[in-house]
Amino acid sequence: MIELFSANTPNGWKISIMLEEIGYDFKVTKIDLGKEEQLKPEFIKLSPFGKIPVITDHDNKKSIFESGAILIYLAEKSGKLYNEKDRLVINQWLMAQMGTIGPMIGQHHQFHHYNPGKSDFGEERYFKITKRIYGELDARLKESKFLAGNDYTIADIATWPWIARHEWHDIGLKKYQNLSRWYLEIAKREAVIKGYSFMDKQARIPGI
């Protein structure tokens, strides 16, 4: 049994989607970020930077922080969504999500969605970077069915939840044909629909 410490955010959805994809039983422990529960000493013991998601695998009592590390752990444990033949490519797109896509789009959320009008510099900078990321993903998905090749993998699972916030981005997902095709195809998966609504049963994946 896996315990998932999480919140209703893109980084949180990565792991609920993964757990649904591999068909593992899991229990969710909600961490209320608004109440700063992530900063409590007992949570910092599991996640040194005070960030969700975290899992505890009660089979072996291991706890894992950082969504990329959790995805790799679950993929290796289940033998799914991280195939050997594409592993080097999967790692690159997964790390690109962890190091660029998530952190940059996260800043766009901060300046454009949560705090508009507070910093022209921040708003312009992260709008531009997010728009570039849309273009770069679109170019990749023009040449490749999924991010790491022909198969749906943990690289797609890490990235898709950020594009699922496209209504906050005001960039116009529809204009990016290949990114839209990929987004909609993944949005149809039963595990994605379930994983997306893991904390809010009424939640519906935004269309384009």
Ligand X SMILES: N[C@@H](CCC(=O)N[C@@H](CS)C(=O)NCC(=O)O)C(=O)O
Minimal distance, residue 66 CB to ligand X, in Å:
5
Q: Binder to ligand X among 4, 52, 101, 154 (CB under 6 A)? A: 52
3-state helix, strand, coil in the chain (%, to 5): 60, 10, 30
Helical spans, DSSP H, in 50-176: 67-78, 87-96, 102-108, 120-143, 154-163, 166-169
Residue 37 binds to ligand X (criterion: CB under 6 A): no
Q: Are 16 and 6 in contact (CB under 8 A)?
A: yes
Residue 107 or 178 with smaller CB distance to ligand X: 107
Q: Rounded distance, CA 88 to CA 202, Å?
A: 37
162: nearest Cα among 205, 102, 120:
102
The window from 50-58, 84-92, 122-130, 194-202 that contacts ligand X (CB under 6 A) reads 50-58
- For the window 89-128, what string marks contact with ligand X as x by the rule CB under 6 A? ---------x------------------------------
Among 3, 28, 30, 33, binds ligand X (CB under 6 A): 33
Among 2, 11, 90, 101, binds ligand X (CB under 6 A): 11
Alpha-carbon distance of 23 to 54, in angstroms, equals 18
Facing residues of 162 across strands? Answer: none
DSSP SS3 for 8: coil
Do residues 166 and 109 lie in contact, with contact meaning Cβ atoms separated by under 8 Å? no
* In the complex, least distance from residue 49 CB atom to ligand X, rounded to whole angstroms: 7
> Which amino acid appears at position 23 of this protein?
G
Task: Candidates 16, 56, 67, 159: give the one binding ligand X (CB under 6 A).
Answer: 67
| Closest to ligand X by CB, 33 or 171 | 33
Q: Please identify, among the stretches 18-26, 49-57, 109-117, 176-184, the one whose residues bind ligand X according to the rule CB under 6 A.
A: 49-57
Binding site for ligand X (CB under 6 A): 7, 9, 11, 33, 38, 50-53, 66-67, 98
